[in-house]
């Protein structure tokens, strides 16, 4: 069951993107329901991050249309925020100011920033410099900063990729908790198959610029990695990714 109060609905029709003569996105059709959490999996260079950047309005599409709540997007997406693998914090500003950067035109912006730090479990770190934080703490600050705009669409571009295994699991739990509480629509790009199954309502695989796999994750939350359905989807995804890798290797040998 998806959350529909705050999230946006997306519909992508025949979207293509070229960089010079290289076609990275080769014709994607995708619908995402309001409040749905969708994971996007695929090999490096398949077009996953480009897809997020197109939805965020950070890249100009070559062809096709992106509809948000049935209205075509033609410029930067004001309802969306992106959380990147790099925390992108301002090193010359303390944690509180980093979180409140987009709130500073508001009266008493510090109160809002402190509330967001409390939401991500860093209320005691407000006066610290980013250089004094661990990798996981920096990503919590980056998440709080993304939430400051009260986004209806949150795009996660491999935000946990550089974290150690335990911190990554903790961050997965935090992201899931905040998504359930705030009811935004979420798209997560990840190379981690288990992470995709743990967080998403639905998983798609992008291969060579198109969607090659799309299935729901019919598991109750919180999820157990030992659940038979979890293992079944995990096997399916690895089989899909390995098959695509084999196809690419065969094509390269024949070229």
Which residues of the chain carry a pLDDT beneath 50? 1-4, 250-255
Given strand 10-19, what is the order of strands in its sheet?
22-32, 10-19, 63-68, 71-72
Q: How far apart are CA 180 and CA 142, in angstroms?
A: 18
For residue 140, give both structure tokens. Answer: 């919590």
pLDDT of residue 74: 76
Q: Are the C-beta atoms of 16 and 25 separated by less than 8 Å?
A: yes
Tally Cβ neighbours within 10 Å of residue 45.
12
**pTM for the full model?**
0.90
CA 192 from centroid of its chain's CA atoms: 12
Domain limits, the chain: 10-79+151-254
pLDDT of residue 244: 62
User: What superfamily in CATH does domain 10-79+151-254 come from?
Assistant: P-loop containing nucleotide triphosphate hydrolases (3.40.50.300)
pLDDT of residue 25: 94
């Amino acid at each position: 069951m998806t959350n529909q109060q705050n999230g946006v609905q997306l519909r992508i029709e025949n979207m293509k993107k070229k960089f010079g003569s290289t076609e990275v996105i080769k014709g994607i059709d995708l619908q995402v329901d309001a409040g749905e959490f969708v994971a996007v999996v695929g090999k490096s260079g398949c077009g996953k991050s480009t897809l997020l950047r197109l939805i965020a309005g950070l890249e100009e599409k070559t062809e096709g249309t992106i509809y948000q709540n049935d209205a075509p997007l033609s410029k930067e997406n004001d309802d969306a925020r992106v959380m990147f693998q790099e925390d992108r914090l301002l090193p010359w500003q303390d944690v509180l100011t980093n979180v409140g950067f987009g709130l500073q035109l508001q009266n008493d912006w510090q109160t809002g920033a402190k509330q967001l730090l409390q939401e991500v479990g860093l209320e005691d770190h407000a006066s610290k410099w980013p250089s004094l934080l661990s990798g996981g703490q920096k990503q919590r600050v980056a998440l709080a900063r993304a939430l400051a705009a009260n986004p209806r669409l949150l795009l996660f571009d491999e935000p946990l990729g550089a974290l150690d295994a335990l911190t990554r699991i903790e961050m997965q739990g935090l992201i899931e908790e905040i998504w359930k509480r705030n009811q935004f629509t979420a798209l997560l790009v990840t190379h981690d198959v288990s992470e995709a199954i743990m967080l998403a309502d639905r998983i798609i695989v992008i291969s060579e610029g198109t969607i090659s796999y799309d299935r729901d994750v019919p598991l109750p939350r919180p999820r157990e990695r030992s659940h038979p359905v979890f293992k079944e989807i995990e096997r399916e995804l690895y089989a899909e990714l390995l098959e695509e890798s084999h196809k690419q290797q065969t094509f390269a040998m024949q070229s």
